[in-house]
Amino acid sequence: MPTRPPSTPTLHGDAAQAFGSAVAETWKSFSGLSLPPKALAQLQGDYLKEATTLWNSALERLQAAPGDKSQPLPDRRFAGEDWAANPAAAYLAQLYLLNARTMMQLAESLEGDEKTRQRVRFAVQQWIDAASPSNFLALNPEALRKALETQGQSIAQGMQMLLKDLQQGHVSQTDTSVFEVGRNVATTEGAVVFENDLIQLIEYKPLTAKVHEKPFLFVPPCINKYYILDLQPDNSFIRYTVEQGHRTFVISWRNPDESLAHKTWDDYIEEGPIAAIRAVQAITGQKAFDMLGFCVGGTILATALAVLAARGEQPASSLTLLTTLLDFSHTGILDVFVDEASVQLREMTIGPDAPGGPKLLKGRELATTFSFLRPNDLVWNYVVGNYLKGESPPPFDLLYWNGDSTNLPGPMYCWYLRHTYLQDELKIPGRLTTCGEKIDLGKIKAPVFIYASREDHIVPWESAYKSTALLKGKKRFVLGASGHIAGVINPPAKGKRSHWVNDALPASAHDWLAGAKEVSGSWWPDWAAWVKPHAGKLVPAPKTYGGHGYKAIEPAPGRYVKQKA
């Protein structure tokens, strides 16, 4: 078996010493952080041992028979045959992964303020992901092979795509020319029956001869377009709800332009769900009915119901919250972006008192931020495919929706940022005043179905579970597999993933999970069975849209959802 040259240990030892010293000096620049010498020494020793093993393996490859390949690496960036067949590329990938692990272990070993540690970990991860050898043409054997096979055409195509993306201001994640809102996404049949400056209210055509007498109102997030709930007929949560016999209404938020830059959080509550509730009540004659909020739409809906509760009204027969935060004590990775200084900066630049008046938070900025929460999947994957290999990304409805970004009015965004993410006041009874009313979530009397996704990096499921302590009605909590979007959009017919159920609601989320039962397949049927008893008796389905003075304004999906940021 080949052995390393005599100088190898010294070379690796010097490199490890220099590496550790440089990192230790870097950490000193972060106020209040320190790296324990014992932890550093352990990491240095482990790094030296693993680097030596890699070097020995690389020497073995050089002496191996021609055509022998390394074992494919589990990391999908380096799993292709070109990486395994090229000894230099395989060694470089393995060394990169070793360095990445060591850097993250160093970040994890830091002692000091948790907020600062979290930011260091995030920054280190961003740097690690950006520095992957797969992101560079000269170091990516797959891209180099393709360039040779196409006689440079792949590089030329990649440059054309790069120029196009520079002009449009973002990395292309899908072929947007394939999709059109209202033609092949957001196609469930319906009509707009009410609108104001901020929303259009869509009523959907019944798909059953009879419907439940109590209608259903959906409040989707205002930071995205509503049609995540209505992408294609076979994965549309809206269509599924209509098929269950519910007379369904959905808010479509307007994509604000400069004329709406002054809108506040109070405006979004009063002109959003409260206005929609009034319209549904008038159209259907039902004072109370079922309601659902998704993500920040759930936060907005719960706030609106607390406002109405303070006014003596209980318009919700049931409340469904999907991946929603009401308790903001732990907001996951998004917490790295929020502190007093960053909120004040927003308030001074786009808030109500900004020089020259309030401004918009541009949708592209929000989209970029969310993409870099998962940079390998949503950024660098497309840098490699689009620019290094010259491959156009395939059409994908979810990524088309993901790129259809929305603006937010500065005053609304600043209020939300300060009073929820920064100061976590929504959960405190009487602390906040919205639409002239003191907010107390505990005064909402409706039974509640709370859904969270186990791998959600935007709304950690443990934080979503904390809503069970804030809402006083009868509650059911269900945990789904996968992430913030894929966990929610999981139609039963696909037979994918699983979910966990547990009728008990202990104080700890992890105690709940420990006693939960895993059920294969979608959580949608569980929700449909839960909501059915709250929906009232079956009555003949309406023949026309609207009613009682409300008429169809235009066909669904309406014009608000088609406005670009």
Asked whether 458 and 334 are in contact (CB, 8 A), the reply is yes
Report which of 450, 456, 486 is spatially closest to residue 468, judged by C-alpha positions: 450
268 to 178, 273, 276, 296, 467: CA distances (angstroms): 33, 8, 11, 12, 22
Query: With a threshold of 0.75, does the pTM exceed it?
Result: yes
pLDDT tens digits, 461-505:
999 999 999 999 999 999 999 999 999 999 999 999 999 999 999
For the stretch 396-418, pLDDT in tens is 999 999 999 999 999 999 999 99
CA atoms within 13 A on the CB side of 144: 13
Q: What is the pLDDT of residues 62-89, one digit of tens each?
A: 776 565 666 778 899 999 999 988 989 9
Read off the pLDDT of residues 413-464 as tens digits, 9 standing for 90 and up: 999 999 999 999 999 999 999 999 999 999 999 999 999 999 999 999 999 9
Domains within the chain, CATH numbers bracketed: 8-149 (no CATH), 190-362+407-562 (3.40.50.1820)
Of the listed 222, 295, 414, 435, which one is catalytic? 295
Lowest mean pLDDT among 61-70, 99-108, 173-182, 515-524: 61-70
CA gap 255, 100 in Å, rounded: 40
- Catalytic (active site) residue 295: yes
CB atoms within 10 A of CB 356: 5
